[in-house]
Amino acid sequence: MLLSPHRRLAAGAGAALVAALAGTLVPAAPAAAQAPARTTAQAQAPDPAPAPDMAGVTAALNAALANGAPGAMARYSGPEGVRSRTAGVQDRTTGEAMDVRSRFRIGSVSKTFSTVVLLQLVDEGRLELDAPVDRYLPGLLPDERVTVRHLLTHRSGLADYTDPMFERTVPGFEAVRNRVFTYQELVDLSLALPRTTEPGVSYKYSNTNFVVVGMLIEKLTGRPVADAYQRRVIKPLKLRGTSYVHPDTRIAGPHVHGYLHPDEAGAPLVDSTEQTVSWAQSAGAVISTAADLDTFMSALMRGRLLSPAMLDAMTTVTPTDPARTRFYGLGLRRYDLSCGAQVYGHTGTVQGFYTYAFATRDGRRSVAALANTSNHGAANTALGGVLEAAFCGAPKTATATKPAAPSASSAPAVRSPESAPSATDRPAERDLPERH
């Protein structure tokens, strides 16, 4: 039986102390062939997995810097312990080095927090996934066919109001930096736009869906969404660096500064750290740390936040790309990597911050990564390389069947010839409109 929110177990993988890589890592196990999604029972059995390639993680962070990010960080947690890497600065004014313990805005990773809360309410019998949204929020949407599941899978057809809002990146941001919206105002912005698809027909990412999720949470609990996050996720898992402070503009304690790239080439970066994030709210306004995100994703995958039935529903995914390496479930992405690993989590973009937070299906290994910029997709794509390095391990060296290298000492490391296509082989997915 699912425990009450106050008694759910905290995840054991959230170590607070970050340590540098030391000693010799265990040898990498052979990569498994790419396989279809496993059942919950199958996912509980520990699989041999390669040790994280921390040199590769560092290379991904440095690539993010080379593509416009002032700083970047990554934290891996697994059977080998906690490993972290940082690069660059978290404050361009003071020159303060990036610190993996610092707080930052996690953008659309907030959608997974919101989904967990809503699915707990389903577990408690307070709403049904396949019921019309209008059953719970009468008259909100003009189409009674839109269900709760459609919201969580981005198949509602509700247009994303952020497309016109941030058509011009910096002016759009400055217009809403200190503004406080109601949920209804954001939904009205969406309903003024043409729908993107008929309900249930196809996937189309839209922040509007999770604004409505926030409205459902508040209607069913009778409390602000901040209270639901606190009581149902943050407190049970002891996520001491995680908060939802909307509409306060500040990030308390040591934190990363975010830097927004203007649309105009060569224009100076804009410090976008302080903002209400009222334009996103339950779709993207949570603040957290790398350690807390590792704890959250691991706990979620280990079944500490949802019943087995709800976790299975959340991790039942459909493809979102023709290559079938990226998938979406209920408020949750699945990425299929070159070594056959399947990892679950979410990406996040909010002005000045790119975030990745992913874990294996058994919750034994997790990674959280950040680059403190946005509107510069090459940095986001580079940061995604952390997933390959952390979950697939070091690339294999060239074999005798490959063309001979000029010398043994200079032979490049390459993925094995049979490696499958990876979700990180292509440009990063965009959670907000971007010009670069």
Active site residues: 108
CB atoms within 10 A of CB 220: 17
Q: How far apart are CA 260 and CA 263, in angstroms?
A: 9
Least Cα distance to 368 among 74, 103, 82 occurs for 74
Residue 316 identity (one-letter amino acid)? T
The residues, ordered by sequence, that sit 6+ positions from 368 with a Cβ below 8 Å of its Cβ are 74, 75, 290, 291, 293, 294, 297, 355, 356, 357
Strand partners, 327: 319, 334
The residues, ordered by sequence, that sit 6+ positions from 410 with a Cβ below 8 Å of its Cβ are none
Q: How far apart are CA 369 and CA 85, in angstroms?
A: 9
Residue 152 identity (one-letter amino acid)? L
| Burial class (CB within 10 angstroms; exposed 0-12, middle 13-18, buried 19+) of 282 | buried
Q: Is the dihedral of CA 306, 309, 315, 317 positive or negative?
A: negative
Q: Is the dihedral of CA 104, 105, 109, 115 positive or negative?
A: positive
Helix (H) or strand (E) holding 384: helix 377-392
Phi, psi of 174 (to 5 degrees): -60, -30
Alpha helices for 153-302 (secondary structure H): 162-165, 169-176, 183-191, 207-221, 225-229, 235-237, 290-301
Provide the token pair at 64: 């993010």
Residue 26 identity (one-letter amino acid)? V
CB atoms within 10 A of CB 410: 7
Q: How far apart are CA 431 and CA 209, in angstroms?
A: 13
- Contact between 285 and 238 (Cβ < 8 Å): no
The residues, ordered by sequence, that sit 6+ positions from 98 with a Cβ below 8 Å of its Cβ are 71, 72, 73, 86, 87, 88, 89, 90, 256, 372
Q: Give the pairing type, strands 259-260 and 373-374.
A: parallel
